[in-house]
Every structure is written in C-alpha cells, then in structure tokens.
Structure 1
C-alpha cells in the first residue's frame, strides 16, 4: 500500500499541555528555535520573528522575507489585542491603463509568475516592527535572526511534506532568465526528503537586515536586486516603492460568538469572512446537528458562501476605497443572511464570487510565560510566489499582486501604491467577560483560511474538542483551493474521513462535491496551529497552555 496516496493520520498525537510557554509551527526545527528564544528571556513577539525567519529557511516553498506578514499580539498586562498589517503595495507606476496597453484585462490576466504580480515585500519590515513594538526589549533583532542564519549556513534536513511542495514548485526556479533560482535547488533539482539543504545567500540577507534594520532590505544592494529581478520579468517596481514601504498597526476587528470574542485583521485581509460566517451561524443549534453531519456541513458551507460573496464584493485596501466593515459585521445583517439558508438546498444564486486560487503559507503561534501571545502568519502567496529570486539574496518574491482584479471600478482593482485583497489572516479568541486570552490560532491556505478558522473554532466551542483533536478532524473547502485558473463558490472539496453517506446527502442537497481528497492533496484544507489557555474547553482557571499542531504539516507544538 502506498501510504502517501492517502497520507492517513494513523498515529495518535495527544494535545500538548505545558506551563511556561509554547510554540506551535509547521516545522519542528522552527518550533524549537522559538522555544529557545523564550528560554533566553524573549517574549512571544521575539520568538515569533525567530520562528518566521527559521521557516523562511526550512519552508521557502511557503514563506519568506520576499513575501508579506500579519500578526495579532495579545498583551496580557493590558488584555488588549493589537493588529499589525505587514502587507506590501503595488508599484507606483503600475496602473490599469498600463496593463491594458500591454494587453492585460480581467479576462486576459498576466501570468501568476509575471513581474506585475510582485507587490513590495512587507515581511522584512514586519519582522523589524514586531520586535520594535511588541518585543521584550531584552533581545535585539539580530538575536532573533541568528538561529535562522545558523540554520541556513549549516544546513538542515528537508522534511517530507515540504520536500513534496519543493518538487511541485521547482519549475518556477528553472524559468529562463531566473538565473539565481538555482540557489534554492540542490544540484539543479528540488531537495528530497532527508536531503541536507543550505542557503548561505539567505543567511547573508538576514545578516544585512540584522545589522542595518529595515534600510538593509529596502535600500541598497537588496532593494536594487529586487527591482532588477522584477524588471527582468516585466514589472515596474522602483527603488522608491521599496524605500517608501511602511507597516501599519491597526485595531483588529472582532465579533462575539456565544460570549467569546473572536479577533481578526481588518481589510485588506479576509478575516472579516470568518467573522461574518460566525455571526450567521451563532443562532443555529450546531451541536444538535452533529459534528460533520450533512446538515452541519451544509449549514457551514452556506454561511461561508454568503460571507465570501460579500467579501469579494467589498474587501480591498481601506486607505484607497471605503469598506463597509460595520455593516458587514452587524448582527442584524447576519440575521438577514441567515434567512437565506435553506435546510433542503444549496443557494447558488447568491454564491458567485471571484475565482479562488491556491496558496502556501506558514501560520504559527507563540505564547510566553507572562501570558502574552503572538498569532503570526507569513506567505509568498502561491508556493514559491513568482519563483523569481533576486541576485545573491536567497529568497523568492511573492506574487500577491495576482489577487488584484483588473475589472474597472471594482474596489479591489489594481492601482498604484495599493494593497491587494489579502488572504493571510491570524486569529485570536478572548473571553467576552474578562478579556483573558483563550486561544491564539490560525489555519493557513489561501481562501481556505476563513473556512479553517470557522471549522476548527466550532470543533472546540460547539463540540468540546481539545486543540489537537480540533485540528485532526476532516474538513471541507469551498472552491478549488490549489487550481489557479478555475474555481468558484459552487464547488466543495471534502477531505478523506467524511463518510460516504454524508457525501451523498450533500450531493442530494445540490452541492457540487469532490469527496475523499487525500494524500498530499490534503494541503487544500490548510495547516493550522492552536494554543489555548487554561483547562479545556476555554476555562482559563489555571496557568497551563493546551496546544495542537496540524497533522497535514511537518511540524509540532512544543512547550516548557
């Protein structure tokens, strides 16, 4: 039997319980590095950046300094949740008129690895700003980057799922003209499972960032290399675009679900999709329906379809267009949407949205002994992103600009210095009564992310599952998550483990279903991490953390 064909979850993994601090990520070396930073006196923010850098080394197939990052930070002293938007903007010369002159329209979009898809990489600034604003002050940025630098210089063994993703995306590194793509290959090929991979040029990039801060990335050698690489592939990014980039710190958005405050990053992120769906679902008796029953899945699918339809219509860069967040999160509006859900049929007439495309990202969570938490996400967008590697830099550039629309008048239409609709979203849960942290969590994976946020949260809140069990359960995904050229809100993929009778009932309800998605294709359903506080479920009356790590990834949760 080829066990990779199903990638079955045969072994039991207990929920981790620990006292002093915890890190949960998709790669065990990165998780260990985060724990080491906590033990050296760093706080959750310090450790998060060490993990982010380590994941750039070990999972360049998903993340890196050439991409974007967001975080939510919980300050246990003030009980306040802070938001950081580390997404980049389109080049100042990139106009719809320019694209139209080059023959690009909404029906004839530029390729996903074109230079026009490269927005300013926001991760480097986000890493620096996270340490500056939320860090302990006991460790420098250089301290947090040093473990990843050593990992890149000394080499690391490539893990199973990452090796598969590396092979799947390696063609981008071999594109004509992408001469530095070889830096992320081993003897001209993707490294295999267990191969030792080094990336000394990425280590040099990290050293420049550590020594010079944001200027070390957004000005000078690295900035010039980025502009040259983008230009070679048809883009128009300038040195001023990079020099002028800024991270923004924003108030997170939230909703209350049965006494629990659920927090997300505001638009241009799609976290509002998850909150809208939770508002719709709050009045249903989901527990009575039964976990992953046909009626339960149908109800969640319809709520998320409705929420996506609204998000696609409105979500964009709020500094450029008005996004009606208050209306979208209004409980009365949710009640109107709730009435559209039938028990007997799907509702395709309200489900049409934009094409859904796939993504690879890393999400991870950190909590420290002082009760602070950092919910962090970092991404290239589609795997290696564009796959374009700036000369002597050791990282690929994201293709986040592919998520703009080229439809004139749409809120998310491409425009100079504009942030695109963004898929990556971290999440948190706090007590509606006390403000105490209940969970720092997330599920990565393109448009799967709000769907994953809703599913794993309800696994815990409605069905009393601990964090590990909540992540282990099979999921659904609306849309063809890893098919770039097609996909709609009509289609539903069901993961291996959802029974045949449930599949049949959903088909009878009118859902277009692909059942039993297994093997490495499980990546469609995202990879999550959860750290919760207190006795289970959500009773913060002791000092323990409860943590889980997604079996769809190579990682683990570690505490001390």
Structure 2
C-alpha cells in the first residue's frame, strides 16, 4: 500500500495507486538534507557537489543551471531563465524574470518587410538579449551563499572538456547543415569538419575554449571586486556587469552583428533581471504559484480555477469524462493565453485580475459541453470581472473569422512525439494498430518539433527550507554562437506576434519581452512548501504540469508515479514556437494525444465526442518534481522515465 501522506483520499484512488506503485519504471528519490534534479545526470551531480560544499538550494540550482547551459541541454548561456523561489526566512514565494528583450530595430515593419508572419526560428534575428547570466548572478547574489567562482566551478570544468552525451552529440550531427551557416557555431560544434561524422561522437571529450574564457572573465571580475573591498553581492554584480557592459558584451555584440543580428551594446547595458511577485490561486486549499503573464504560467492557474467546479475524483483518473473535462478546460485557458498574455511592463495592460478570478472561472466552466469538443472556443471577456469594458470586442470578432479552424487538414493530424518508438492510428472499429511508415512525413515532424520544442527544468530543496523551481531555455541546438564568446544566442524572438489580431499584448517592440512557454511551479499547503515541479516541452508544458498536479492532489500519486502517469496532450491552441506562416501555428481542434495503453472503450467514447486521436508511448513529458514531506521531515523526488532527466538526494 502507498503511504497516504497528503490527505484523505477515496478508496478508489488508493486502489489505483497501489496498482500503479508496482509499475513505475524509476524508483522515487528520497532525501533528508537536500535534493537536486535536472535534465542531465552530470548537471544533477553539479548540484549535489554544491550541496556537499555547504551551499543552499539556490546555490545548487545556479550550479545546475550553469552546467545544463554548458552541456547544451536544449539551452545555452545566451538564453533566458525563469524561476520561483520559496524563501524560508519570510515564508514567501518570489519570482525571477530573467527573460531577454527584443533588441533595437526589432519592429513589426522590420520583420514584415522580410516576408515573415512571425519572427524567424533560428539565427541572429531570432535572438532576444541574453537573460541567463544575469538571472543566475541575481539569484546567487540575493539568495545564495557561495561565490560565483564556487558555483561556476563544475560548469567551467565541463567547458574544459566533458564526455558529451549521445543525445546532444546526435542533435549536433542532425543539425550540422544549419550549424555550418554560422562560422562560430561551426568552429565549436563540428570538431571533425569534413569527415563522415562532423559532430563529436558520444563519449568524446567536448571542449569549449571560448566559453571557458567567458566564464573565466566573469570570475576574474568577481575576484577583482573582492580585492577592492567589495562585499559578496557587489562582487557577483561586477561579474554580471562585465558580461553586459564590459568586454564580453563587446564581443557578443560584434559577433552577433557580424552575422546579421540586431543586438546593440545599449541593449545589453540597459537590461536587468527583475524580481517580481508571482501570481497564484488556490485549489482545494493548496496555493499554486506561477510567474506573471509574460509566461504561459497563468494558464495553469486558470485551468485549475475552472476544474474546481467539477468532481474529478468521481469521474475517475483518465476516464473519457475526465479527459474531456481536462481538455475543454485547457481549451478555454489556452484561448485566453493566446490573446491576452504579454509583457506586463508594456501597454496595453493585461486583464490578469479578471482572468484569474474565481467568478470568471465559474462562468467559463459553464461553457463546457459534456457531449462533444468545442471546435470554436474563443477568448472570454475577463474585463467584465474587473468592472471594465472590453476594448477588444471588435478585434475578437475579426479574429473569430480569421481563425476558423473547424476543418482539420487530414494530412497534418498526426502529432505523436518524435521520441515515441512508433505511431499509432485509431481506426473506426475501436482498435488501434501500429503504423510503421510515415504517412504524413516531414510536415508532421516539423509540427511536433514546434509543439514540444524543449528546454530543461531544475528543482532543488534543502533542509533549511529553501525550495527552487526553474525552467530555463534558449540558445538550443542549432544555435548561432555570438563571436568568440562561446555563447549560443536565444531563439525566443519567435514567440512574439506581428499582428494585433492574434494577440494585442504580445506584438514585437524594442525592449519588450515575448510571451514565453517557460513555466516553473511551486505549491504551498498549510503555508509550507508542498511541491516544486517543472517540465520541458513548449506548449505542452502547462498541460503536463496541470495533470501532474491533479495526479498528486486528486489521485494521491507520489511524485514519481505522477511524473510517469499517462497524460493527454492537446493541439487546440496557437503554437508559441516555430514556423513563419500562419498555417504553421494554427490550432488543430479536437486533436488529442493519448498514451497507447488507453482503454479502447475510452478511445471509442472520445471519438464519439469528435476527437481526432493519436496514441504514443509516453505522454507525460519529462517532469521533474520534489514533494516536501512535512510530516516526516524528508523529500520525495520524481524524475521522468524518459529523456535524460536525473536527480540526487541525501
């Protein structure tokens, strides 16, 4: 039997979990002193090294962030960092906004004149200013305990040379033709240029001399400041300034502009990370915290507010009714995300107070039909719940005609993740069969890449009470490296739109942050840390995290069970990444991904409701999570059973 350590749950849920406990592919992690989990085993080890040196969870999270960037775990040092931190000193959750901004010259007319419907996916024109170096320095200075030199030590050793993993090495080889477009990227990623395999082989020692020199310069700046009598915080800020205002910035800008980029020295010098008050809601007396509406994080809060109006336990885990209700709730929240979310530091001001009101959620919940999927779900009117008139009523009417997606192109229905071993198609006789050949081919592979375009996730906790959840990203392979810095530039510009009809809050503008998919999560119960959870995967992130949370809270799963449990993925949303045409990003109403072991009766019922069903081997996303077992004074860790995510506890 499973220990009932959350709260009283139904006999049905206990029975379900007792069966599931036998089937997890990875054991849960346990620790009493600390826990570190992230997307690469070596990076998790970096976090454990910092803990063993006496660092706290913030120190360890910063070390894991530095290591994952150095290992190119679908991100680089030139990307962006988003974090939630529980501070045990004051008992509050704080948010770190270390997302870069659109550079000077990044205007709607600039991109439209080049024929784009969205900013490009790759290359120097896809880059916002780097956010990760500043975000790491800020978190470490304000809430860590160690020096930058100590925290960067594992990453710097990796930059000197580490045995590259197969996933990264093979990604470089697959993307080598694009990498060759950028001279500095080619020099770093293709050590065997001209050979049959030009990328490093798995296990080969991968050396990054330019990146090592960049990190050395930051540590030098810290040490020089200490010699001048500066305190720890001031010394770390000196390292940050050398990156954004010194010789590192000069080389970054030179290398970027040489390759056609827009970032200027003024753009870098004027950027700073921001500490914010996070948004939150309550679900069954559990406080759930997310970042502000410059991310898609509030979408999870909206969905929870809607789902609070239904008896999910009574429906049963992944029954047809449950799946339908989850899908419809996400549809409503995604429709609002796609139109109302954007940088809160720019006008217009998002109606976030209305979007997160319980009254608005109750009204939205009544829009859900119980018998079929709603192909025409639209953004709601949150302004009414702020006592205001909606200034976008006319725009919304235009948008409803522009985005008529009631017809799904039969050639582009398949969206099973590429990591799945095979594709499964549901036939009309209530059975499914393996599809060996690629029917829809290249277009579907591109779409799935855009839907689930990855990042990494980091969670850490310690016995002093510090808890951290981070979802960094940007500068993924194939990355355009800026000069001799060794730093891959962000590709986050593509998350802007160029037309108000799609989202008037997220139109590109110099100095503005794009609305991103990146979304760490923290939850408190009885005022104490309860869960830290995060996941990679583009537009699927909030979908997977929503179901993970419900798996724990509604169905009593451990974090390991919940991270491996079968989820659903929806495509009824505007994609946030990839493609420069409207057609590349339009919603696919009714498209749903289920795990291949879904009961045939459930599949049949969903088909009757109008869903286009695909099946895959794994549908839960690479979730990383820590449960704070306050009853026993220990940690439970969960790390997904696919990908390379890994954790260590003590």
Same fold (TM over 0.5): yes
1:38 aligns with 2:51: yes
TM-superposed CA distance for 1:296, in Å, is: 1.2
Aligned equivalent of 1:63: 75
Query: 2: CA distance between counterparts of 1:140 and 1:403?
Result: 34
Counterparts of 1:180-219 in structure 2 under 5 Å? 180-188=185-193, 189-212=198-221, 213-219=239-245
Aligned equivalent of 1:494: 594
Q: 1:390 to 1:36 in 2, by over 3 A?
A: same
Deviates more, 1:398-407 or 1:475-484: 475-484
Aligned equivalent of 1:140: 147
* Corresponding residue to 1:173 among 179, 200, 207: 179
Query: 2: CA distance between counterparts of 1:191 and 1:554?
Result: 18
What are the ranges of 5 or more consecutive residues in structure 1 without an aligned counterpart?
Answer: 1-8, 535-539
Which has the larger Rg? 2
Query: 1: CA distance between counterparts of 2:178 and 2:298?
Result: 32
- Kept in 2, the 8 Å contact 1:448–1:525? The answer is no
* Corresponding residue to 2:115 among 104, 129, 132: 104
Q: 1:475 to 1:11 in 2, by over 3 A?
A: closer
| Deviations 1:305-338 (CA, angstroms, capped at 9, x unpaired) | 1101001111111111201111000001001110
TM-superposed CA distance for 1:473, in Å, is: 1.2
Query: 2: CA distance between counterparts of 1:233 and 1:449?
Result: 32
- Kept in 2, the 8 Å contact 1:79–1:437? The answer is no
Q: 1:362 to 1:264 in 2, by over 3 A?
A: same
TM-score under structure 2 normalisation? 0.77
Aligned equivalent of 1:537: none
TM-superposed CA distance for 1:195, in Å, is: 3.4
Deviates more, 1:221-230 or 1:72-81: 221-230
Q: 1:286 to 1:21 in 2, by over 3 A?
A: same
TM-superposed CA distance for 1:362, in Å, is: 0.9
* Corresponding residue to 1:437 among 529, 540, 549: 529
Aligned equivalent of 2:420: none
Aligned equivalent of 1:332: 359
1:13 aligns with 2:26: yes
TM-superposed CA distance for 1:186, in Å, is: 4.0
Aligned equivalent of 1:128: 137
Query: 1: CA distance between counterparts of 2:176 and 2:456?
Result: 18
Query: 2: CA distance between counterparts of 1:379 and 1:418?
Result: 18
Quote the RMSD (CA, aligned, Å): 2.3
TM-superposed CA distance for 1:483, in Å, is: 6.7
* Corresponding residue to 2:545 among 419, 441, 453: 453
Counterparts of 1:160-559 in structure 2 under 5 Å? 160-175=166-181, 177-188=182-193, 189-212=198-221, 213-321=239-347, 322-350=349-377, 357-380=451-474, 383-384=476-477, 387-408=479-500, 410-431=504-525, 434-479=526-571, 484=579, 485-490=584-589, 491-516=591-616, 518=617, 526-534=621-629, 540-559=630-649
Query: Paired residues, what number?
Result: 530
| Deviations 1:141-168 (CA, angstroms, capped at 9, x unpaired) | 111001110122131241x444454444
Query: 2: CA distance between counterparts of 1:27 and 1:367?
Result: 18
Deviates more, 1:389-398 or 1:243-252: 389-398
Q: 1:293 to 1:192 in 2, by over 3 A?
A: farther
TM-superposed CA distance for 1:512, in Å, is: 2.4
Query: 2: CA distance between counterparts of 1:162 and 1:497?
Result: 30
| Deviations 1:30-72 (CA, angstroms, capped at 9, x unpaired) | 11110111121111111111000111122x1511211000111
SS at structure 1 position matched to 2:314: helix
TM-superposed CA distance for 1:114, in Å, is: 4.0
What are the ranges of 5 or more consecutive residues in structure 2 without an aligned counterpart?
Answer: 1-21, 222-238, 379-399, 406-446
| Deviations 1:178-235 (CA, angstroms, capped at 9, x unpaired) | 3433302342333344333222322222222223211222133332333234324433
TM-score under structure 1 normalisation? 0.89
- Kept in 1, the 8 Å contact 2:123–2:479? The answer is no
Aligned equivalent of 1:86: 98
Query: 1: CA distance between counterparts of 2:201 and 2:621?
Result: 22
TM-superposed CA distance for 1:514, in Å, is: 2.2
1:115 aligns with 2:124: yes
Query: 1: CA distance between counterparts of 2:645 and 2:91?
Result: 29
Q: 1:63 to 1:557 in 2, by over 3 A?
A: same
- Kept in 2, the 8 Å contact 1:445–1:525? The answer is no
- Kept in 2, the 8 Å contact 1:438–1:533? The answer is yes
- Kept in 1, the 8 Å contact 2:120–2:493? The answer is no
